[in-house]
Amino acid sequence: MDDFILRAMLAGIGLALVSGPLGCFVVWRRMAYFGDTMSHSALLGVALAFLLNINLMVGVLGVTVTVSLCLLILQKRGSLSTDALLGLLSHSALALGMVLIAFMSSVRFDLLSLLFGDILAVGNEDVIAIYVCAAVILGLMYFLWRPLLASTVNRELAEAEGFNPDLTQLVFMVMMAAIIAIAMKIVGVLLITALLIIPAATARWFARTPEQMAIASSIIGVASVILGLEGSLQFDSASGPSIVVASLCLFLLSLFASRLINGVLGKERGQ
Amino acid sequence: MQLIEMDGVGIKRQGRWLIQNVTLSVKAGEIVTLIGPNGAGKSTTAKTALGVLKADAGKIKRKPNLKVGYVPQKLAVDWTMPLTVRRLMSLTAKPSKIEIDRVLEKTGISHLIDSNVQQLSGGEYQRALLARAILRSPDLLVLDEPVQGVDYSGEIALYNLILKIREELNCGILLISHDLHVVMAQTDTVVCLNGHVCCSGAPEHVAASDAYKQLFGDAASQSLAIYHHHHDHSHKADGTIVPSKGDSGDCCNHG
């Protein structure tokens, strides 16, 4: 296996391990559009990183965290509905990013690879960054699992019974921002949310508890990354869309499988 | 020892008082029932008591390290989350297997331990939520309309279960009923709310009406009582207070 493929595989697998459980929360909390908003604003982060000459991931992390804090503050003021606010933030950040990029004529941008991922761009330091980030996020998830889950089920109940939902939400948002920063090179800005949602949705068919769903979602995510990157090499397609198409195939497959299993079970029960 | 004491508490949102000048307290082993029409601020009062909402006026005293069990009015578990009754029990605490078995037996839903919560009937779900809330052996149990979606006979069974829980745990219970008229006979204190405390006191203070016995039968009136009271004022459609003639003992007087 070539070095760059190995790096991409490693990076992708690390990413999928985290996006599994995090994606479950995105699905449970109905935050798909929120994920989109954060990932679209990543483009502004990239532009700022070039402008200020700082690390790409740091730039993206900074902007996505800022955008999610803006959302929290605007939500508290309660003048606009959440989906309108998300639309406002998402597209403003995307547009600002594009305009900034246009201003910087000295830097050459490969916009397509930013939008849809480019495994050739994954360097050794990226792989390390991904695994460090993944370890931190998974560790946080492990320790915060109960409060995170409780405040997802019912925020007020969690608060009444001694948790701090505001804090857990903040940590959750930072984790989302971090995963967007590390996912950008592999799946691209436009498709990150798909990697969060589709494996989680697939896992839903097989899971009986939230924990099972989170673990299954990780496994399905890893399979999607492996299949997708193989496909990307085979057909010379962009890595992001290939991974998403692979996860979609797994979703459809599981849809049929669960229908079949339920059908068989139903028949057995009938007899 | 008072578990919780609210004194003149008010909550203001967008320039409007949701509740104002609410005074109530719950002791260990006491059942305090909040009644009142829709939008009277019953849930708001409960959430303020729990500390989920911060009071904009008045004082709230809680017993230090007060352990609370809460059954919210709306707890719809999204169907995307796979959640069995067993898993629901350990949502905020870490009970042992034996503790879970015992509490499910107490609430009469042992057979549903591996069912998905989304597939439970209204009564079964309320029992599951109640089981979850008492699993932590709370000092204070806050039940926001615990009989919603339950048919009439189920309602009585649930109320009797709540009484049994009170006896076993000796916890204070803050109970919300949306039904102005149906309140448990064993309720110690009834607080009638309509933005403010209209009236409060022991249910024996107010006579049981014959209309209710006729409506529900004698058996039901053993476990149910009505809270029949005369307001010293009435509310206009916009909530303004209109004083009316006649006065009853422990009702407040609006200047």
Query: Does A41 map to a domain?
Result: yes
Query: Does A225 map to a domain?
Result: no
Contact B47/A at CB under 8 A = yes
User: What is the separation of C-alpha A49 from the centre of its chain, rounded to a whole number of angstroms?
Assistant: 21
Convert B109-123 into a string of H (helix), E (strand) and C (coil). CHHHCCCEHHHCCHH
Average pLDDT over residues B109-116: 92
Cα angle, residue B251 at apex, residues B143 and B178 outer, rounded to 5°: 30
Percent of chain B clearing pLDDT 70 (strictly above): 75
Q: pTM for this one?
A: 0.84
Query: Does A246 map to a domain?
Result: no
Query: Does A78 map to a domain?
Result: yes
Average pLDDT over residues A146-158: 93
Please name the helix (run of DSSP H) or strand (run of DSSP E) that holds residue A147, with its range, or none: helix A124-153
The tokens for A154 are 């019912």
What confidence tens digit (pLDDT) does each residue in A36-88 have? 899 889 989 988 998 888 888 889 999 999 998 888 888 877 778 888 888 99
For the cut 90, the answer to whether the pLDDT of residue A269 exceeds it is: no
Whether B84 sits inside 8 A of A209 (CB atoms) is: yes
CB A201 within 8 A of CB A27: yes
pLDDT for B227? 39
Q: Provide the chain B residues 71-100 that lie in CB contact (below 8 A) with chain A.
A: 72, 75, 77-78, 80-84, 87, 91-94
Sign of the torsion angle spanned by Cα atoms B88, B91, B97, B100: negative
For the cut 90, the answer to whether the pLDDT of residue A137 exceeds it is: yes
Query: Does A130 map to a domain?
Result: yes
For the cut 90, the answer to whether the pLDDT of residue B208 exceeds it is: no
- Give the nearest partner residue to A27 out of B50, B52, B80, using CB atoms: B80
Whether A161 sits inside 8 A of B82 (CB atoms) is: no
Cα angle, residue B221 at apex, residues B218 and B224 outer, rounded to 5°: 165
Contact B220/A at CB under 8 A = no
For the cut 80, the answer to whether the pLDDT of residue B220 exceeds it is: no
What span, in angstroms and rounded, lies between the C-alpha atoms of B44 and B46?
5
Query: Does A13 map to a domain?
Result: yes
Length of chain B: 255
pLDDT for A266? 60
- CATH code, domain carrying A76: 1.10.3470.10
pLDDT for B237? 54
Percent of chain B clearing pLDDT 90 (strictly above): 25
- Give the nearest partner residue to A204 out of B51, B82, B142, using CB atoms: B82
CB A223 within 8 A of CB A13: no
Provide the mean pLDDT of chain B: 78
What span, in angstroms and rounded, lies between the C-alpha atoms of A120 and B75?
47
What span, in angstroms and rounded, lies between the C-alpha atoms of B173 and B223?
17
Average pLDDT over residues B107-128: 91
More confident residue, A179 or B205: A179
Q: What is the residue range of A113's domain?
A: 3-190
pLDDT for A63? 93
Provide, as residue numbers in chain B, all residues whose Cβ is less than 8 Å from the Cβ of A204. 80, 82
How many folded domains does chain A comprise? Answer: 1
Task: List residues bridging with B17 in a β-sheet.
Answer: B12
Query: Does A232 map to a domain?
Result: no
Chains A & B: contacts with CB separation below 8 Å:
68
For the cut 50, the answer to whether the pLDDT of residue B228 exceeds it is: no
Query: Does A259 map to a domain?
Result: no
Cα pseudo-dihedral B123, B127, B129, B135, rounded to 10: 180
Cα angle, residue B115 at apex, residues A269 and B96 outer, rounded to 5°: 135
What span, in angstroms and rounded, lies between the C-alpha atoms of A89 and A33?
11
CB B181 within 8 A of CB B190: no
Among B14, B83, B176, the strongest candidate for a mutation testing the A interface, having the largest count of A CBs within 10 A, is B83
- Under the banding of pLDDT at 50, 70 and 90, the label for residue B245 is very low
- Give the nearest partner residue to A28 out of B81, B91, B116, using CB atoms: B81
Average pLDDT over residues A6-22: 93
